[in-house]
Amino acid sequence: MSRRAIILVFAWWCGCGEPAPAPLMPDPGSARLDETPDGPVEGRIAGRAWRLAEARFDVVTRPGRQRVDLLLWDEAVERCGLPIERSGATVWLRFPERTALEPAEHALDAEEGSFEVHYEVPSEEGFIESHRGVATVRIDEADERAIRGRLRVCFADHDRSCVGGTFDASPCWSRIDGRALREPPGLRDEALEPVRRGGP
């Protein structure tokens, strides 16, 4: 056998050069809301324990790019409207072609549904990401000051990441939204937000 043939056989045997197979989609039954705990969203993301520390929602109204993002972090955040690097893990649900959410239940079965699910976790190599999964989210209350509800999301990754529980999201505003043109330097973006129901 020639040297070239030996190399080709070895490459075929070890699978060298072939992309790793994509993780399988989770069973849709894993995203049932009756499987979620009563407390804030928690679970595991990319092999790490994950517990909700802050929930926000971001509304994009630019023509052709309308969407509502429900953003969940495992650490407190400031200036959430700015695209800056963060040290915590982010889970987010994106509802495209919408500028508001209403009380309703939404389901994402495999890759069919009215919204998307994502996560991003910083690592030494950059970021660990997933953009596929199954989910159910129930919006119980929604207005310009808050979105409250319950969700269960399971991602298509090798770690079988899943999170579930309740959330109470406030608006994600920043100076880039044009809401604080006259405020002095040093004012936190969170000071621009309206007073929430039941808040101070």
DSSP 101-160: --SEEEEEETTEESSEEEEEEEETTEEEEE--EEEEEEEEEESSS-EEEEEEEEESSTT-
- Looking at the chain, the whole-number percentage of residues with pLDDT higher than 70 is 76
Count up the domains in the chain and report the number. Answer: 1
- Domain membership flag for residue 145: yes
> CA 57 to CA 115: how far, in whole Å?
14
Residue 3 covered by a domain: no
In a domain, 71, yes or no: yes
Answer yes or no: is 179 within a domain: no
Domain membership of residue 186 (yes or no) is no
**pLDDT > 60? residue 134:** yes
Cα atoms in the Cβ-side hemisphere of radius 13 Å centred on 35: 15
In this structure, is residue 50 part of a structural domain? yes
In this structure, is residue 164 part of a structural domain? yes
14 falls within a domain: no
Domain range spanning residue 89? 37-170
CB 87 within 8 A of CB 64: no
Check whether 15 has a pLDDT greater than 60.
Answer: no
Whole-prediction pTM:
0.78
For residues 137 and 93, the answer to whether their CB atoms sit within 8 Å is: yes
Write the pLDDT tens digit of every residue in 72-125: 999 998 878 777 778 889 999 999 999 999 999 999 986 677 899 999 998 887
